[in-house]
Structure 1
Amino acid sequence: MVHTCVVTGCRNRRTPGTTLSFYRFPRDPERKQRWIAAVNREGWVPNDGSRLCSNHFISGKQVKNPRSPDYVPSVFTSAPLSPEMKEPGALEILDKQEARVEAANALLFLQGQGRSVVGERGQGEQSEEREQEAAVEESASSSLSTDEDDDDDDESMSDCKKGKFAHTSDAAVNFDNVLKALKKENQTLRESLDKMSLSENSLRNDAEKVKFYTGLPNYFVLETVMWLLAPHMDGMKTVKLSKFQQLLLTLMRLRLDLRNQDLAYRFGVKVGTVTRTVHQMVTIMSSTLVPTAVFWPSRAELRKNLPAALRSSHPDCAVIIDCFMVPFEEPVSRGNQQQQRMVPSAQGVGTSNNVLKYLIGVAPQGVVTFVSRGVLGNVSDKSLAEGCGFLCKLLPGDVVLAVS
């Protein structure tokens, strides 16, 4: 089909051997209306066969980038073109293309899209040369193209779709990388939090940490103690603390003599919960562990394993005793939140009822063989020894050593 340019005064036609390109009016309503306004034919409406030749574009070819000056035709001559006008030569085409590129750069600069020449003169000259070469190559390729407009539009649409799909796939890959990085960071934060927290996972493979907080040699012993006490802890109703945390809290209170407020901050509970938990756990531990782990050995066993240091001086030594005191805090409900510590006198008598006093017996081999019940601190060592049941364990001839 032979097409004729619709611009008034332009007689260019698509004929065999022509180097011109002819473009149909765009389908986009806004862009199409701008093309109609540029043609400037009063009362005229284009149809499917209306075409616009490439002479009416600065670079000699339409551009689908809205920021380009060739997005809308802008080259219109006042004098009509003669149908007998010969096609320009190759040198004339290059000169015209360079002039058009310079005009396009000037238009872009006026529209605020150009680069600043003051600070980037060298780069500007190089970019202008590259743009000129690109424009010449585009013009040459467009002049050599003799395909129909529909084919050009289809190819451009397919290229656009390919670009969109490529961009979408790149974005998907980027999102996958970001997701993997976030998962890795989350895992690292969880591991660091487990190490900082006082939980079973943080103590399981750290014997030094177990020994520091509980006094037990390793996690296996701690787990064994937990196994012995767990059946007796069913009646303790603590929502925020697990059974393991209740045991750990109590051992830390006894081992490190920490304040109840400090333990409340560490485990995220109230001070009253810490006080109640410690009292209940001490009672359970006394009734469960003492009968299981603390027993009085026979005299034959004592003499068989008696240390060499005591065989010559005290061969009949049965036990070494000592009295110690454990200060405790009053419940918060009483209004006394400040810790009160007992100051022992020279005779070992406490001056405060806020202390529990115990008598402990250790065999010469170092095994604990006796632990008395706690008595309020205002009691002497003699009274405690006579009233705690310790004397009932002794036989005639047994030697008792006391730590001074």
Structure 2
Amino acid sequence: MPVADPSFSPSIDGLTDATLHDVLIVGGGLVGASLAIALERLGLEVGLIEAAPPGALPAVFDERNLSFAEATVNALSALGVLQKLSAPSGAIERIHISRRGDFGRSLLDAGKYGRREFGRVVVARDFGEALEARLAELPRLRRYRPARFLGLATDDAVQRAVCVSDGDGERVLRARLLVAADGTRSGVRAALGIGSDEHDYRQTLFVTRLRTSRGPDGTAYERLGEHGPTALLPRGDRHYGLIHAVAREDADAVAALDDNAFLARAQEVFGWRAGRFLGCGARSAHPAIRVLAQRTTAARALLVGNAAQTIHPIGAQGFNLGLRDALTLAELIEHARRADPTADCGDPALLAAYVERRRDDRERTLAFSDGLARLTANDAPLLRPLRSLGLFATDRLPSAQAYLVGGAMGYRGDVPALCRQVQA
């Protein structure tokens, strides 16, 4: 979504929508749509501003592969989303971690922890269709689509006034709580005057579907290297999802490779653990840049998902973290409304409770993702034995494995109840 002009301040005369939303969500992607679904059962007036028109999916729902932690699988099942998948998902039963040029490796096995799997792999397009099917069942949700966030209009202490444009022109929508779920370059974040801190990892990630001589057996591979990870995720269609990181200065050359040359390059970096790389689908490229909002709340406003934090995809933490943002907000609103049915969704005390509740999970996940990305990409000779020792220890020390397993399954900090609600 384009960044809005923070100085935008339209006149609201003739533009006001009659509906006062309890919660107005900007962004209909993975996290925004999930939040709308989570709020439906609370009997609130919820609005969802979506850039994509009816019948179309947001651009984020492409051929990328999403790794859902167990906590995410639990929550999305409880919300009735995963049941809408029309294509099979792939189980992650084991996680194999190694680094090119270092000895040692770590193998995490779900069976050792009394689990059938750590999580599941879902194609983003399939997930988008499942979300859309679930959204279509929500009778109270008011969807504005296609619509574009323009900026913040004059508001007061009890509501936010948000200017949008849609097929009927410009209008002002009102909300007790405005939620920014509009991605890394969040227009809402800019309009609220919330700054962000960025770190460019100088890596480009190529994503595609991969066919190998040995089909997936439930093992997810994370092969680390000086230019980032090469990961294989077991999909449900007997293919792997491949994420192959390259140095930014090499990205154009790699993008120009034909399929055979690209496969040979990825094979040389990854090795032969999954057999011979035989073919791949269409490739897409994405820069690895960390963007962290300097704060996640403002008066009657809150940032979730990539609008709050866009992190390196190593360890597949991004969407899982964003979903826990959304579910924590929904849970806090539910608790407040249970105590007082007229409770204000934008109350400062509720937003403060959200920040406190999310602090541990957010800080630990950010530190894990960023630390792993920087440490594994650093090719300094003195670090090699330390990394190898770390992999060796992780493979043999139960406490070290337990730390990785808890994070892999999405259980960091005080997670929402839906994440622990195991489905039959």
What is the TM-score of this pair, normalised by structure 1?
A: 0.17
Q: Which has a greater percent of helix?
A: 1
Q: Which has a greater percent of strand?
A: 2
Structure with larger RCO (C-alpha < 8 A, sep 6+): 2
